[in-house]
Amino acid sequence: MKKYTADPEPRFRDRDKSGALPEDRAGALIRGALVPAEPDAVQLARIERNLHARGSVGGRSPRVLRLGLAALFLVLGAATVKAYELARDAGWLRHDRGAVSPSEKPGATKPNKRSAKTAAPARIPSETEVPAPAIQPLPATPEGEPGPDNAAPEGARKPPRPVRRAALAEIPGNAATAIPDPWQPQQAVVPPAAAAPIAVKAPVLTASQPAAAASDEIRGLDRAVGLLRRDRNAAAALAAFDSYLERYPHGVLNREARVARIDALLMLQRTNAALAALETLPFDSGRRSTELQVVRGELRARGDCAGAERDFSAALSHTPDAGLLERIWYGRGVCRSKQGNQSGAAEDFRRYLERFPEGAHAAWARRWLETTDKSSTTGG
């Protein structure tokens, strides 16, 4: 299969404006079309109002509605089947049985599938079979005594079975698995001596048990994360995370739980506990991991500036995004300055200002650089 690695061709709209090729004409069509307008404040306000209105109703999830609909269809289906069975038992559908099928009529050549099913007993006689009687007025039968009216429907359902069983039994290798016929006198089933032993697989227990445990574990963590993210209840979430980590110390979601627990600790302003938790967390080069390393640097900066600087520098080597970069340069600059490395701090603050001239700490960094420069020229 052909692999595409880059944009295959220039866009239609970037093609030659004076060209006559179909691609050029397509480009002209796209270029000449109108562009989407931004909605005005009235439209946005209307949408927001509708959103609030829909939210106040309860914001019922479409998933709930879908489940409700599925349940409704299931109930309707089951009710239809039950109604059919009741109608059949009540005899309302009995007129179908024993009716003369088209294939039995003189001149009929093509048997109908449906009538063939109902009229099967008449065409496949067997030793146990009572032929289905033709419809005719019957004399009254004493209750409990098997009369033609009671026997015919039973007989009409039973006969095909011996035929199928016999056919099954004739298949080589099926003798051992042949089902005993309840309509035949019971015989002792003796397995043939030469029959190969049937290999029965031992039940596999590895699939269900760990799956159930994993689902328990996921449920436990999901509840804790819900408390933190949805309910914003950090204290309850922290208790839930602690309980989870105690219960599943080596769970598959252990790292996720530990990271979310740190969020809960920070939400509760328990910075020392958060730092302690971060000290034991391994980092990789992922975005989330880099962010946690920056967080650790910011927490360490309060007492251990050298450690904080190491964290910021390590995070910087993982090509962080703009949000993290801003925090890293500012944080490392402050830490370097606190350690007396003013040139390093100045370098960080300059980089910060180049990239984030309107950043949250830009005014402060600018003022620091100005006064530092002044001081260095007068003092040095």
Nearest to 346 by CA among 355, 356, 334, 360: 334
Report the nearest approach of other proteins to the CB of residue 158 (Å): 48
Q: Which is nearer to other proteins, 117 or 255 (CB)?
A: 255
Q: Which is nearer to other proteins, 25 or 355 (CB)?
A: 25
Structural tokens at position 286: 């992922």
Q: Which is nearer to other proteins, 45 or 213 (CB)?
A: 45
Residue type, 27: G
Report the nearest approach of other proteins to the CB of residue 288 (Å): 7
Nearest to 281 by CA among 299, 269, 305, 302: 299
Nearest to 245 by CA among 193, 272, 211, 281: 281
Report the nearest approach of other proteins to the CB of residue 352 (Å): 13
Element (H, E) at 284: none
Report the nearest approach of other proteins to the CB of residue 342 (Å): 5
Q: Which is nearer to other proteins, 121 or 361 (CB)?
A: 361
Q: Which is nearer to other proteins, 121 or 320 (CB)?
A: 320
Q: Which is nearer to other proteins, 29 or 70 (CB)?
A: 29
Report the nearest approach of other proteins to the CB of residue 356 (Å): 15
Residue type, 314: A
Report the nearest approach of other proteins to the CB of residue 359 (Å): 13
Contact 220, 246 (CB under 8 A): no
Positive or negative torsion for Cα 38, 40, 41, 44: negative
Q: Which is nearer to other proteins, 119 or 278 (CB)?
A: 278
Nearest to 225 by CA among 251, 257, 255: 257
- Reduce the DSSP state of residue 15 to 3 states and report it: coil
Structural tokens at position 222: 């999901």
Angle at Cα 16 formed by Cα 12 and Cα 21, nearest 5°? 70
Report the nearest approach of other proteins to the CB of residue 287 (Å): 7
- Reduce the DSSP state of residue 76 to 3 states and report it: helix
